[in-house]
Structure 1
Amino acid sequence: MKKLTVPVLDEKDKEFVETLVNVGLKRNVAKTLVYLANVDETISRDIELGADLRQPEVSIVMRELRDQGWVEEREIKKEGKGRPLKCYKLATSITDIISMLEERKKEEAAVHLENIQKLRNLSDKLK
């Protein structure tokens, strides 16, 4: 029997995940991002174990991260038969991802403030 060593999220990582969730990311996306930020490159099975996710959840998250341009994917051909393994790594640094999230939140806040100002203007006309 083989013995595998896979990094897992620790308490500091879990705090990072919670903070990402608080700024609007889905929990599974946040877990996967934090996991990928801690490793150079990894396969989906390691993400499942290290981030405590199921295989379908990892697949869904990876599609979202690819759509954002935040992750790179490559295939590793296995010996013999079977599907190749998918190997992932961040395409954008976690710092840049945080900056993108910050920019999105600023844009959302600007829209909310604009709507509040519009409400004030409309309420003034009611009097």
Structure 2
Amino acid sequence: MKTSGTNLLEGKGYEIIGLLQGLDVPRTEAVCIACLVCGDELTSQNIEQASGLRQPEVSIAMRPLRERNWIEERNEKKNNDKGRPLKYYKLVVPFENIVETFENDALKKEKEISEALAQLKQLSAKSR
């Protein structure tokens, strides 16, 4: 099922974006994730309309999602065979798995910060 982009992000989508940005996910990437969670299979144009992002921003934001194997991307020729084909994007992993990945990243970062602070405390105690 294909979903249009208008009003796609209302409510839940904007909440997802805000929470992801709080986890230091880049804004454009957070917006694209939210669009794909709230929609089904979306064209680049659907995402642009829903989010206000420009086409190059959508393409760039999709790169890390593709690298993580979170999305499927396909091209479909336009009816008149003129111009670039339409790009369709679809999440291929459950959103829960994406959340789990961000959770693991955050926990790892938190551990690294704690270890660095502990080392700094040791160094400051030695310098007295």
Tell me which interval the TM-score lies in, with the shorter structure as reference length. Answer: 0.7 to 0.9
Matched-pair contact (CA < 8 Å) for 2:6–2:50: yes
Shift of residue 94, structure 1, vs aligned partner:
1.2
Shift of residue 7, structure 1, vs aligned partner:
4.2
- Equivalences for 1:74-113 in 2 at 5 Å? 74-79=74-79, 80-113=81-114
Question: What is the percent sequence identity of the aligned residues?
Answer: 37
Paired residue for 1:10? 10
Q: Deviations over 1:27-47 (max 9, x none)?
A: 111111011011221110001
Q: Deviations over 1:88-113 (max 9, x none)?
A: 00122211111000000000011101
Distance 1:63 1:36 in 2: 14
How many residues align? The count is: 124
The answer to whether residue 64 in structure 2 is matched with residue 61 in structure 1 is no
Matched-pair contact (CA < 8 Å) for 2:70–2:92: yes
Q: Which runs of 5+ in 1 are unaligned?
A: none
- Report the more deviating stretch, 44-53 or 99-108: 44-53
Q: Deviations over 1:4-35 (max 9, x none)?
A: 77342113321221111001111111111011
Change (3 A) 1:84 1:90: same
Question: Considering only aligned residues, what root-mean-square deviation do their CA atoms show, in Å?
Answer: 1.7
Q: Which runs of 5+ in 2 are unaligned?
A: none
Paired residue for 1:31? 31
Q: Deviations over 1:32-64 (max 9, x none)?
A: 101101122111000100122111111111122
Question: Secondary structure at 1:10's aligned position in 2?
Answer: coil
Paired residue for 1:116? 117
Matched-pair contact (CA < 8 Å) for 1:44–1:58: yes
